[in-house]
Amino acid sequence: MRQPLSILGKKPAVLLVLGVMSMLVFSVLWQGSTAVMIHSEGDHVVMLDPGHGGYDPGAITAQGVYEKSINLQIAQKVKEMLGPSGIQVFLTREEDIDYVPDGVKGKTTKKQIDLNRRIDMANEVKADIFVSLHVNATATGQNSGAETFYDSKSESGKELAVLIQQELIKIPGMNRRIAKPGDFYVINNTSMPAVIVEVGYLSSLKEQKKLQQSWYQEQLSRAIAKGIASYFGLP
């Protein structure tokens, strides 16, 4: 019974303190929102493309691991990691889908329709860069490690590829490959700088196991996110 009375007695002082505090909070928020508004004028936009999906699984291993699933898991992690940087991140797919209408026949035609839709999506959001995520596979199972490819005609594409690959090779146990020019439909046909990141080899049994682990996917995603951020001059 005494408590309410004492609070009542201190009410004007409490209100004053609360008033000053809320003004401070308000001014901080106000400054914060102004800063965000200024930043959004020069917004950076990234289209992440988890390779394959739907009818097209990409590489499949004897153990039943699908490339399309790993591509999507990594893309989602990269998006999450880039969140705080203020970079706007879009994905060409958020689930296990493709963009081929029913009834379309022919492997090459289907592939091209699917890739063209993804390229269009990047144009629609006016993406500054396009980053396609894949996992490699070979028949022999000898190779391992990440590789990043760019269109040899694009200097900015090369710069982006080099920055991403530089981060990827910092991962312990990673091969120390350098970014390479590559002849791929998707990077040749995008209007913005574009790269293909092959995060590893599913054909290596050792790497296949790692690629399914979220701790390893996080290492890869962090490296890709860091490379993208430094392309835009962000920490």
By beta-carbon proximity to Zn ion, the closer residue of 93 and 134 is 134
Spatial distance between the Cα atoms of 69 and 79, rounded to a whole number of angstroms: 16
What residue is closest to Zn ion based on CB?
134
Spatial distance between the Cα atoms of 62 and 55, rounded to a whole number of angstroms: 18
134 binds Zn ion (CB under 5 A): yes
Residue 71 CB, shortest distance to Zn ion, in Å, is 7
Residue among 46, 48, 51, 100 that touches Zn ion (CB under 5 A) = 51
How big is the CA angle at 70 (ends 68 and 73), to the nearest 5 degrees? Answer: 110
**Binding track over 91-130 against Zn ion, x by CB under 5 A:** ----------------------------------------
Contact 73, 217 (CB under 8 A): yes
Contact region with Zn ion (CB under 5 A), list: 19-27, 31-39, 49-57, 159-167? 49-57
For residue 175, what are its two tokens? 């091969």
58 binds Zn ion (CB under 5 A): yes
50 binds Zn ion (CB under 5 A): no
Contact region with Zn ion (CB under 5 A), list: 13-21, 79-87, 134-142, 221-229? 134-142
Parallel, antiparallel, or unpaired for β 180-181 and 129-136? unpaired
Strands lying side by side in the sheet with 180-181: 88-91, 45-50, 129-136, 194-201, 147-150, 180-181
- Contact residues toward Zn ion (CB under 5 A) are 51, 58, 134
